Structure 1
Amino acid sequence: MESKKSIFQTKILESEEKKATNSLSLFPREEYEQVISRLNELKQYNPTKTKLDYRLLQKYEILEVTIEGTTVQKLQKKDTQLRFICAEDVFDVLVAIHRIMGLGGRTSMCKATKEKYANISRDQITLFFQYCEECQLKKSSVRKCVVVKPIVSKSMNSRALVDLIDMQSQPDGKYRFIFNYQDHSTKMICLRALQTKTAEEVAIHLVDIFCDKGALIFFNLTMGENFQIR
């Protein structure tokens, strides 16, 4: 985890260095503390201000936070409740938010961070997912799926598929159903017109088809082999 955290930290700092100087909002801890120290000096002693000082005063203000009984100073975006964090803390903050949200996705992470932090970007969150161990384990886990064993027919009349087609909206006189019998091996189809879909009428037509197709079906039935109707 620590190695991934350090790689993540290096990459976000490299990305930050490519930005214009006046748009920087993510600092290493040392520079972060220097900004806090300078703001305290400007507030207490009112020294001669530089252009950088005016930018600091315009962008930041100091927020005092109590952590485990100790009061520490953090940077906050001026006139808002959004906090700035140093580069070393970004990964830990994202891990905490990620777990609280039940390993949520990028969109939900972006929404959650924007409500609290001023210097966590969408690009940083996208990069975080590449180094999150829990996400990587989730992706690498083997997904179990249902394995359907194919049905194999060795000969004609050893298996058949039976279906009833409902034609009640377009009946032909007293016939309201079509009995569809298909041999699984040869795909040959036999059709019969049915008045009803009762078991008795279906059985009559099955016997008629069995008699028409020869003795092999009866042999398979009597021997208990693989004849199946679906």
Structure 2
Amino acid sequence: MTDTTQKRKEMKERFNARIRELTSTKGQNTQILSKKAYQETIEKVKWTKKKTSSKKPEDYQRLKRYDVLTIGNIEKLIVPVKQTDLIKFYVHTEEVFQIIDETHISMSHAGRNKMSTELHSRFKNITREMINIYIELCETCQKKPSSGLKTKHANSQDCTTRCQVEIIGMEPDNGYTNILIYQDLATKFIQLRPLKTQSVIEIADVLLDIFTIFGAPCILQNSVSKELADNIVKQLYITWPQLKMVHGPETEAYELVSDVTKRLKIWLGGNTKKWTEGLRFVQLLKNSDDSSDKSAFEAMFGIKARIGLKPRLPEYMLPNINTEEDLETFLTAGEVPVSVPESHDDMKYEDNRINIVLPGPSHDQLGFDNMDIKIEDTVMKMDHDALDELS
């Protein structure tokens, strides 16, 4: 057993002990359910639904609070749903740690408020007290420096005032030899594009695609050369005379370039050199990282990045929902036959809007030496022949 696995096991034991203490202080009407109480409640709900007469007030209260959803051969306790409602699950105490743990890690160790919002959208009886207990036991969270300062995010009127453009030299892949990094500095939202050359004409052409979708900034800057930024602006004007921009000062961008290359190396995993295939996924991962206040995606668009149905449904439900009719049947009837893990404990509750699982090589194998990404060469040295194209 690795140290990490052992620490996780010990943390789970301490968490469950605290939950037992919490449960002991609650009254009979608590929604914190042991596994035994959870199964008993399911049986009571099923029995109450079968009663055709002589229902008591507590029967109506039970049916108002609970319903049972059958997933394959597993019965889950849920909040009664109307036709347009999303399903909210009740969970028992033996499931709580796994659910909170997976959500917390997928959200890059988010704080209590973000965790509460996320978990309460899917689970009825995971309380703020439970989340607080988990965060108190999380070593990573306890090591975070406390600060009252928060990043100030620009409003939509400021989103395209200034941008950073950087070029990274790469090993050849399908004719491409460079990566263009475009970042909106107000929101930190980035876009990554492959380049075949460091030609100003090609760079301007790629930027034009971005500007005609997201709008153009007022100022364009580059960490290597004001002259390069100026020539890009001039080339953009040749293609689009109505576009008036200016170039800004040389601005340090090593952290941006380093972070992008590090994420790309992790995606490559030492198993492939086809870096062009990973750009769009690295772009999404970086834009979805909400470790500081909010993600760049949310700052730009006002919502978190979404990945289809996965944010709302457990992973094991998804293979049997293939059409809109399947989805409607599931939401209205509350029952769908699916293949589920043999062990109930193996089921995972994931939010892939945040914990984004992307195609590509294994992220656990970081064969950095197999990939030649020339960060220093790019930041410190450019193909200056490109600067003479417009002179």
TM-score by length of 1: 0.51
Residues 71, 48 of structure 1: alpha-carbon distance in 2 compared, 3 angstrom cutoff = same
Q: CA RMSD in A?
A: 2.5
CA displacement at 1:4 relative to structure 2: 2.6
* Residue among 54, 58, 66 paired with 2:64: 58
* Residue among 75, 98, 101 paired with 1:92: 98
Distance 2:31 2:57 in 1: 17
Per-residue deviation, residues 3-47 of structure 1 (Å, max 9, x unmatched): 33233223223323323323x111111110111112112223557
Per-residue deviation, residues 33-70 of structure 1 (Å, max 9, x unmatched): 111112112223557545543332121011223xxxx4
* Residue among 15, 18, 24 paired with 2:25: 18
Once the two structures are superposed, the pairs formed by residues 4-83 of structure 1 within 5 Å of their partners are 4-22=11-29, 24-44=30-50, 46=52, 49-65=55-71, 70-79=72-81, 81-83=87-89
* Residue among 108, 126, 130 paired with 2:132: 126
2:246 aligned residue: none
Residues 128, 52 of structure 1: alpha-carbon distance in 2 compared, 3 angstrom cutoff = same
Gaps spanning 5+ residues in structure 1: where? 141-230
Aligned residues of 2:49 and 2:63 also touching (Cα < 8 A):
no
Larger Rg belongs to: 1
Distance 1:53 1:9 in 2: 31
CA displacement at 1:126 relative to structure 2: 0.9
Once the two structures are superposed, the pairs formed by residues 1-230 of structure 1 within 5 Å of their partners are 1-22=8-29, 24-44=30-50, 46=52, 49-65=55-71, 70-79=72-81, 81-136=87-142, 138-139=143-144
Distance 2:126 2:94 in 1: 12
Per-residue deviation, residues 61-100 of structure 1 (Å, max 9, x unmatched): 11223xxxx4411111123522111011111100110111
Q: How many matched pairs?
A: 134
Structure 1's consecutive aligned runs of 4 or more residues displaced over 6 angstroms after TM superposition are none
Aligned residues of 1:39 and 1:61 also touching (Cα < 8 A):
yes
1:180 aligned residue: none
One-letter code of the match for 1:78? P
Distance 1:6 1:49 in 2: 41
Residues 51, 111 of structure 1: alpha-carbon distance in 2 compared, 3 angstrom cutoff = same
The percent identity for this pair of structures is 26
Aligned residues of 1:5 and 1:131 also touching (Cα < 8 A):
no
One-letter code of the match for 1:91? F
CA displacement at 1:139 relative to structure 2: 4.7
Residues 16, 47 of structure 1: alpha-carbon distance in 2 compared, 3 angstrom cutoff = farther
CA displacement at 1:113 relative to structure 2: 0.7
Gaps spanning 5+ residues in structure 2: where? 1-7, 146-391
2:265 aligned residue: none
TM-score by length of 2: 0.31
